[in-house]
Structure 1
Amino acid sequence: MKIACDIPVSEVMSFPVIKATKNMSIYDIANIMTENNIGAVVIVENNKPIGIVTERDIVKRVVSKNLKPKDVLAEEVMSKKIITIPQNASITEAAKIMATHGIKRLPVVKDGELVGIVTQSDIVRVSPELLEIVIEYASITPEEKEVISLDTDEFSEEYINGICENCGYQGRVRLYQGRYLCDECIEEFEEKEE
């Protein structure tokens, strides 16, 4: 018998994944989300995940800027620093990745190709005790900040557990121009500077 925490993500993930291409309009992607009652669409190229568009991305990068969804492409809105997990990884590993990176869903891959998606809800449904990891991470106050060093090509800076001073997001933030910001806000500021 498998202990709930040792269950591979392939046993709890949703599949097939609702996906889109980078050239689809946000209008079409929003309709896909509505029709399928989902909060995100994985953007793929040759069935390999290259980004993800979430409801939050649409609100922050399209609606709040009063852009026309039919005129905005997925590649302009998607989070490009997509974090994936192998299908044979455990749900404990998935929960830790979600907590560390402050995300709610992980595309699941096999040999780099998209085979599913696992969400916090999927994990909690089969292993409620893992919810504590996510709750504990989200409840960290700025006074309890802990440095996290991520050794990947995408995240080579030092991060702390804290609150984004721009949007209020609680989780992984880093110092950017004198303020602690989440990756999404940093990305927005960098886009404005270009």
Structure 2
Amino acid sequence: MVAPARGLKIRDLVKRPPITIPQNASILEAAYVVAKNDIGALLVADSTGSPAAVLSERDIVKAISMRIPLSTPVEAFMSTTTVNADDSVEKAAKLMWIYNIRHLVVV
């Protein structure tokens, strides 16, 4: 039986440290890192190294399907929706539903 999410904080669900790339990394570089690490999304860091956004496999596929040059920086396709680690799981689920996304940046 699945335990109810009520009362859970996002920090309770974080399983491992994220794999990060800089926002000026190319779509090709991002695709390589995603494939190499067998993951579904990357944390995108801003110029100071702080978490800025997330780039998912879906974002990469969208860029490729639009025939965007693979040298294009990931910042053109990243999602900047964030949640706080102390936010509720319900809040995260609502944001993911509203924006039709599967990954969020946890700050």
Q: TM-score, normalised by structure 1?
A: 0.48
AA partner of residue 67 (structure 2): N
1:51 match: secondary structure: strand
AA partner of residue 105 (structure 1): H
Moved over 4 A (4+): none
CA contact (8 A) 2:23 2:44 kept: yes
Identical-residue share of aligned pairs (%): 31
- What are the ranges of 5 or more consecutive residues in structure 1 without an aligned counterpart? 110-194
Q: Aligned partners of 1:84 and 1:37: how far apart in 2? A: 23
1:59 match: secondary structure: helix
Aligned equivalent of 1:39: 40
Aligned equivalent of 2:85: 87
Q: What is the root-mean-square deviation in Å for CA atoms of aligned residues?
A: 2.1
Aligned equivalent of 2:73: 73
1:55 equivalent among 50, 54, 57: 57
- Count of matched residue pairs: 104
Aligned equivalent of 1:102: 100
With over 3 angstroms needed to count, the CA separation of the structure-2 counterparts of 1:50 and 1:27, relative to structure 1, is same
Query: Which of the pair is proportionally richer in strand?
Result: 1
Q: RCO higher in 1 or 2 (8 Å CA, sep ≥ 6)?
A: 2
- What are the ranges of 5 or more consecutive residues in structure 2 without an aligned counterpart? none
Q: Aligned partners of 1:38 and 1:88: how far apart in 2? A: 24
Query: Which of the pair is proportionally richer in helix?
Result: 1
